[in-house]
A and B are shown apart, each in its own frame.
Chain A
Amino acid sequence: MQKTGIAVWDQVEIAQRQCAAWRFPLRSIWVERIESEWHALSLSEPGNRSEARSMFIPRTQKPTSSQWRHYLHRESGLVQPTPVLPDRPMVVRPDRALTLLPGQSTIFFLEIPVWFRLSTIGPRALRIFEEPLCVLTRTWFGDPVTGELCWGLAARLHHSIDSVEPSAWTAVCPLMIENDSDTDLDFEKICLHVENLSIFRGTLRLWANSLNVIFKGPDQATQIEIVHTPPGFEQGLTLVSAARQPSAGWNIRKTFGMLKYFTDF
């Protein structure tokens, strides 16, 4: 097994006493199968900027660490690594101040870091573990009483998919935003409920469901539509992981963080 790019998400047969490694920028994961146990280790590697790749390594080269976790499981050695979206909503802070004028609409492509999930394949597919591939900050969206705990992400809003570097550890989320109000829409931050989104696999990229967002004004809830079909920016996409919390139809949520809350002195 020596795979790079999107192929790192292919299923793998790990034999007894064999160690597999998945190396991503920022994080590496080692998995070893010993009798009825899976041993897994996840380490942050801030210096590793290379392309995502997976390989078998000699057991002598596996890292020595007290953080190895052991999972008891008696199924076969066939495992499926799967990219999944984070388990909480995500507050995205654009890298630059953007204002959408009234009546205008636009499309952005957001890169969302995925989590690594390892599951067994067989009559009883079981999840072994999940690990974030990128350390996200914790943040709060909304007021201190009724808001929600989210992951924070500073991200670039791409206007074209061509400017998004193909990556095996981020999912591209097409975001169509329409300002259907009389006021300017300032993007300070945007809260995306990524737990409602699925991931599709393309030839070079991972994709999340497209989102249609209609901004009705600062005093009204924003309407969000999840497009359940694969994004139309690439043909032949296949579903690789379903949404953690499937959501049908239109949702109405406070999406844009425009209000300043009095949280200081």
Chain B
Amino acid sequence: MIQQITLWLQSISPDVLTKALRVTLTILLGLFVVRVLAVVTQRFIMRKSTPQRQMIARKVISYAGFFLVLMGVLSELGLKLTAILGAAGIVGIAVGFASQTSVSNIISGLFLISEKPFGVGDVIRMGATTGIIQSIDLLSIKIRTFDNLFVRIPNEKILTSEVTNITRFPIRRMDIVFQVDYDQDLNKVHDLLARIARDNPWSLDEPVPVIVLSDFKESGIEILLGMWFAKTDFMDLKNSIMKDMVSSFAAEGVRFAHPNRLVKIVEGSAATS
């Protein structure tokens, strides 16, 4: 076996061996340099940039670097780059026609990167999907939902759909809509809600919480309590305010409305007779 390999190596001309060595070195050295450049750019040069910009810079360097390495290897192999590029252009047009959706996604991706409706780390809602953006790539964005599912959404779909960026602004308002019985003292309910919002440590006291008697409903009066909070405090506020409302309402004798029906039996009607 070893003898066969030795014979095979002896049969290869020194030129071919040198070329093979140079190609291998170009690949290894090129990939190493690209990797180092990407890491240095991300960790040192763009240390203070947003994660999204770091990711874009890393990908631009990686793609450009790989392309240059490929060109270098082809050049080492003695292939004429002009012919390859010309052929690549023709092939590109053919592939482009054959893959319009992918091209559309790439162009949408470029628009998304330039428009910046969201960035890596933002929480977005699109249709029934809500999650944290993990990466924004040329073809799609990848998000992780709160129940730890990986969701890939094509860029074209994002560009043509309504997307809500939940964490774009530093504070948000949480609206809680509920109903109380018609016989409740609404001034008392209003004061109680104001106190609950004021005493809650997660609810901001400025902007002032909103309390609106919003509608007459079938079973009670609908009330909206809107409290502002720092975007990171959603869960704390949601859980604490629900508990505070139930306990304070019970302590003050305020009743939530429940669906009810009043049935009247009229004397002398066909049913009673």
A residues contacting B by CB (< 8 A) are 91, 135, 137-141, 144-145, 147-149, 152, 189, 261, 263-265
B228 lies within 8 A of A263 (CB): yes
B201 lies within 8 A of A149 (CB): no
Q: How far is the CB of B178 from chain A (nearest CB, A)?
A: 18
Q: Give chain B's interface secondary structure class.
A: loop
Q: How far is the CB of A161 from chain B (nearest CB, A)?
A: 29
With an 8 Å Cβ cutoff, the count of chain B residues facing the other chain is 17
B210 lies within 8 A of A261 (CB): no
B170 lies within 8 A of A152 (CB): no
Q: Which of B169, B170, B201, B228 has the most CB of A within 10 A?
A: B170
Q: Which of A91, A140, A147, A264 has the most CB of B within 10 A?
A: A140
B residues contacting A by CB (< 8 A) are 169-171, 173, 198, 201-208, 210, 212, 228, 230
B207: chain A residues at CB < 8 Å are 140, 144, 261, 263-264
B204 lies within 8 A of A139 (CB): yes
A24 to B87, CA, bound (A): 81
A264 to B208, CA, bound (A): 8
Report the tally of A-B residue pairs with Cβ distances under 8 A: 47
A145 to B168, CA, bound (A): 9
B205 lies within 8 A of A137 (CB): yes
Can you pick out 16 interface pairs between chain A and chain B where the beta carbons lie within 8 Å of each other? A137-B204, A137-B205, A138-B202, A138-B230, A140-B171, A140-B204, A140-B206, A140-B207, A144-B207, A144-B228, A145-B169, A145-B170, A149-B171, A149-B230, A189-B206, A263-B228
B204 lies within 8 A of A138 (CB): yes
Q: Which residue of A lies closest to B231 (CB)?
A: A149
B205 lies within 8 A of A265 (CB): no
B230 lies within 8 A of A91 (CB): no
A145 to B203, CA, bound (A): 17
Q: Which of A91, A138, A148, A265 has the most CB of B within 10 A?
A: A138
